[in-house]
Structures are given as C-alpha cells and as structure tokens.
Amino acid sequence: MRIISNILLWLAVISTGFAVSTERFELVYSGIAPSGKLHTDHTGNVYFVDDHRIIKLETASGNTFEYGSLSAGTISSADVSNPFQILVFYRDFNRIMFLNNKLAPLRGEIDMSDLGIDKAILAASSGQGGFWVFSDRDNRIVYFDQQLQRSHQSMIISSLADSGNQPVYLTESRNRLYLHVPLEGIMVFDRFASYLKTIPYAGPSRFRVVDGQIIYFYKGDLLNLNFEAGKISKIYMPPDVQADYADIQPERMYILSEGRIYSYRVRQ
C-alpha cells in the first residue's frame, strides 16, 4: 500500500505545472540500453526484451542478469510486476516460463497446449499466484492457479466488443484485470474474471495501472489517465533528454533515449 501511496503522491505533484522544477530530477544512472523494449519494477530494476533474451539491470548496483532460450523462440512479452516471479511469454510456441529475481527458471516451461489452450495470444501474472491468458480459440480470458488448474474464465469477449478487434494487451493490478481491445477501450474484470466496465482509451497497446491511474507513454509524452475522473494529465520529465520511451515507479523515472537508459530520482 505504501508503494501505491508514494506513486499517487508523486503523480499529484509532478502532473501540476506550477509544482515542477528541473531540480526535482537527479540523474542516478546512465548506461547503454540493450533493447528498445523496456520494462520496470517497483524495486528499481529495469528489464530489456531483445528477441529471445530478457536482460535485467539493477540500476543501484549496475549488475545485470540475462535469460535466453533459442529453442523457445522469440519472447512476445514479459510481465515483471512481481520481480520474484517474472512471467515470460512465447506466443509463437504457446509457452510460458517463470523466472526468479536472478532470471533463473523457477520451473520448467509451461506448454499451454497441455492445459487445453491451443493458442494463447496474451499472458499476464496474477497477484493470486497463478497467471492469466487470453485464448484466441475460446475468445475469453482464462486463469490458471499455481497448480496449473483452470479455475476462472471470462465470458466470450466478442459478446462485449462490437469492433471484432483482437485484444493486444493484458495486465493485472490490485485484483483487477485490464484487457486492451483497440477501438473499444480497456475492459476491466474482477479477480474471478467477471466483467465490470470498459474504460475509454485511445493510447498505445501497453500501459501500467496504479490505483485508478493509467500510466502510458505516447508521442513523446508520459501521460496519466485518471479513469475515475476521466482526466488526462502530462507527467513532466527532465528537459535535457529527448525520450523514446519513459516510465515511472516510486520516486523514480526511467527514460530511454537514443540507445541509452537514464534513471532519475524524483524529489517530492
């Protein structure tokens, strides 16, 4: 709860123009970025996905860890919301791998075909200990627990969406599941996969959810959508760097620019 409170306090400060000054940003790390696909966690780590590899950078120490499997194919996505149980999804091979905080396998690869999912197109970690997948054949979200038992599933998504577009992103935050369907918005489900509502959204495929706030990078800006109030505000970034991508965590901002990664401490 403290992590979430810190982020919300920071957003309240840096989203208001009169409260921001360049002195709020202190550069604490700068280095070469192995990839343009960037993820961050709340403990100060940065992750890069590069074809078949995932690379973890500890910005506090500069230490790196790497995991890759040529036989598993290209990494489609990674969910680092739990840094001790990182989910790596191989869409082409319909498989999932879980890694620990040193990027070592926690268990063998999970073949979704063995669980009755012929074609998973999205996957996400769950705070309940298992994971979610979106099944293309079933056209629904399915939850598997830690014993790989299928325990929850949503209604057929096409019954909720008129566009017929295929979902492009899936993530969980605080017992809520968020499914991005282009031209429809972000569909919200509870922890039992029961549909709750759809949030209007026209941003990029990937985003992060922080207690009623959707954080996303779009056309050079880091934005905050308060979906309860229906208000979008800009999160100010250091003026001395042109961002190709940016993200925030408690008291930290991460910027990818021209092949380098920058980590800033943000003072409240």
Per-residue pLDDT, 52? 93
pLDDT confidence of 144, banded at 50, 70, 90? Answer: very high
Res 21 pLDDT > 60: no
Report the C-alpha gap between 244 and 258 in whole angstroms.
7
User: Does residue 195 form part of some domain?
Assistant: no
User: What does the mean pLDDT of the chain come to?
Assistant: 90
Per-residue pLDDT, 22? 56
Res 62 pLDDT > 60: yes
pLDDT-wise least confident of 100-114, 151-165, 233-247, 254-268: 151-165
Res 9 pLDDT > 60: no
Res 201 pLDDT > 60: yes
Please report, for the chain, how many H helices and E strands are present, in that order: 1, 24
Res 2 pLDDT > 50: no
Res 164 pLDDT > 50: yes
Burial class of 254 by CB neighbour count within 10 A (0 to 12, 13 to 18, 19+): buried
Report the C-alpha gap between 222 and 139 in whole angstroms.
32
C-alpha distance across the termini of the chain, in Å? 18
Average pLDDT over residues 123-142: 96
Show the tokens assigned to 176.
């809520």
Average pLDDT over residues 211-236: 93
167 secondary structure, DSSP code: P
Report the C-alpha gap between 78 and 80 in whole angstroms.
6
Does residue 145 contact residue 131 with C-beta atoms inside 8 Å?
no
What is the percent of the chain where pLDDT is above 90?
79
Per-residue pLDDT, 73? 87
Report the C-alpha gap between 17 and 7 in whole angstroms.
17
Res 10 pLDDT > 60: no
Number of domains in the chain: 1
User: Does residue 68 form part of some domain?
Assistant: yes
Per-residue pLDDT, 18? 34
User: Does residue 72 form part of some domain?
Assistant: yes
Average pLDDT over residues 154-176: 89
Per-residue pLDDT, 20? 42
Q: Which residue would you say has higher pLDDT here, 62 or 22?
A: 62
- How confident is the model over 67-114, as pLDDT tens digits? 998 888 899 999 999 999 999 999 999 999 999 999 999 999 999 999
State how beta strands 120-125 and 110-111 pair: unpaired
Average pLDDT over residues 172-184: 95
Q: Rounded to whole angstroms, what are the CA distances from 161 to 3, 142, 225, 229?
A: 34, 17, 22, 23
User: Does residue 206 form part of some domain?
Assistant: no
User: Does residue 95 form part of some domain?
Assistant: yes
Beta bridge partners of 50: 53
Res 17 pLDDT > 80: no
Average pLDDT over residues 44-59: 95
User: Does residue 51 form part of some domain?
Assistant: yes
User: Does residue 188 form part of some domain?
Assistant: no
Per-residue pLDDT, 16? 45
Per-residue pLDDT, 212? 83
Q: CB atoms < 10 A from the CB of 216, how many?
A: 20
Per-residue pLDDT, 3? 47
Model's pTM, two decimal places? 0.89
Of 117, 65, 59, 115, the C-alpha closest to 91 is: 117
User: Does residue 267 form part of some domain?
Assistant: no
Domain limits at 79?
Answer: 40-109
